[in-house]
Amino acid sequence: MMTFQDLNIPEPLCELLRQHGIEEPTSVQEQAIPAVRSGKDLMVQSRTGTGKTLAFLLPVMEKIKKGVPTAQALIVVPTRELAVQISKVASIVGQTADVTSLVIYGGQDIERQKEKLRRHPQLIIGTPGRLLDHVRRRTVDISQVNRVVLDEADEMMKLGFLEDVELLLRHTAADRQLLLFSATIPERVRGLAHAYMRQPQYIAVEAEHVTLEAIRQVIIDTTEETKLDRLCEIINQEQPYLAMVFCHTRKRVGMVAMALAQRGYLADELHGELTQVRRTLVLKRFRKAELQILVATDIAARGLDIEGVTHVINFDIPHRTEDYIHRIGRTGRAGEKGTAITFVNARQYEILRRIEAGIRARIEKKHSDRHKRHAEKQAKMKAQALQERKLSRKKPKPLSKYANRKGAAHKGRNLRSRRKK
């Protein structure tokens, strides 16, 4: 079994990892850390939950020149939540590695960000739009950045950040090393790699079992009219400590969150239309278990690592396997068990089959107590009918009407013949 010492990670960092319960490198860390050190451009296909944050943070920080007060590395991510998540890890590792870092994303006070940028952080983590805003304002200089990480590259392309990412890359050093991490490699990601990478090394890490092995997955048949009642029924039955409920749209999220709150549940919403202050407050309350249920769009499925999420409920079934894995990956973390429940109607079984093919497993189907009672009643009635049919076969067949008449006529003839004699 490989260790971080085998990967030549400095002993102070190995000790830091042990203090946080990280004893052995994951598959993506084993493969990516030496590749990043080589200086080559790198394209890594790896799902969420595989430990890719440390796979690029450890070697990137190792290459940063200590004591040089200028931005030398840039990590670009699609969402604020993922930026904050990576920045927390970078802050902890940076204290031991002697590297300063800063996180930048939209919704924050830009003047405060300018003040922090004047301290010349060596590693900058941020979302494309806000990073490009600072570049245009000339409040940050990334011309000396020689290592760029694009994390969740497929999601950035899906959210329309391709042009912003390309503009950022043009402002970095000409001899930069580009590291691209993505759960999938669609055509637009390949196009970006072809345009900005030089003979990249490709690493693919299969991670379905890493992500799903601790999660009990369940499918529940429902209709649009009964979804909300079924959701309440599930919450009452399962009694989750913390639950995340995923919907497709912001409008849907608001409707479900309001309906749950009106029924007395501790629920709130999370989506891209909320201000950053509101989003931060909602997540803080959820982490402290002041909220029991967080209703969210897919934006919350990326980059959120919240301890204690025991249940994920797909109120709306995701259309892609990747989105399904990212959603249910919010539970079953840190060695704990989790439950993922997905609502499906009669028209969505084709989507379900694609998801099952993607995760290479069949998902358990669960019936409500009402459905169980109905099924048990139907089975009991069927058994009784079968028993009655069996008993009826044992009774002697009655004589036909014709046979009875014939017998009576024959008896009458015998009596008349006796009288004549």
Residues facing residue 181 across a β-bridge: 44, 151
Report percent pLDDT > 90 for the chain: 53
Asked whether residue 147 is assigned to any structural domain, the reply reads yes
Shared-domain flag, residues 125 and 167: yes
CATH number for the domain harbouring residue 155: 3.40.50.300
pTM of the complete model beyond 0.75: no
User: E-assigned strands of 11-112?
Assistant: 42-46, 73-76, 101-104
- Residue 208 scores a pLDDT above 50: no
Number of domains the chain contains: 2
Query: Could you say which of 334, 351, 368 is where a domain stops?
Result: 368
| Nearest of 123, 200, 128 to residue 163 by alpha carbon | 128
Average pLDDT for 371-397: 65
Give me the helix-helix angle, 162-171 and 128-137, nearest 10°.
Answer: 40
Shared-domain flag, residues 158 and 31: yes
Query: Could you say which of 191, 206, 221 is where a domain stops?
Result: 206
Shared-domain flag, residues 91 and 202: yes
Q: What is the pLDDT of residues 337-353, one digit of tens each?
A: 899 999 999 889 888 99
Query: Could you say which of 322, 349, 368 is where a domain stops?
Result: 368
Q: What is the pLDDT of residues 228-281, one digit of tens each?
A: 999 999 999 999 999 999 998 889 999 999 999 999 999 999 987 888 788 889
Confidence of residue 177 (pLDDT cuts 50, 70, 90): very high
- Residue 218 scores a pLDDT above 70: yes
Shared-domain flag, residues 154 and 253: no
Q: Which two tokens stand for residue 392?
A: 């009826």
Note down the domain range covering 270.
Answer: 211-368
Say what the pLDDT of residue 173 is: 94
Range in 92-106, 200-214, 394-408 with the lowest mean pLDDT: 394-408
- Residue 414 scores a pLDDT above 60: no
Shared-domain flag, residues 192 and 310: no
Asked whether residue 226 is assigned to any structural domain, the reply reads yes
- Residue in this structure with the two tokens 């800063």, named with its chain if needed: 102
Q: Which CA distances in Å does 259 have to 227, 283, 309, 341?
A: 12, 20, 21, 19
Shared-domain flag, residues 245 and 262: yes
- Residue in this structure with the two tokens 């345009």, named with its chain if needed: 195
Shared-domain flag, residues 252 and 308: yes
| 82/384: higher pLDDT | 82
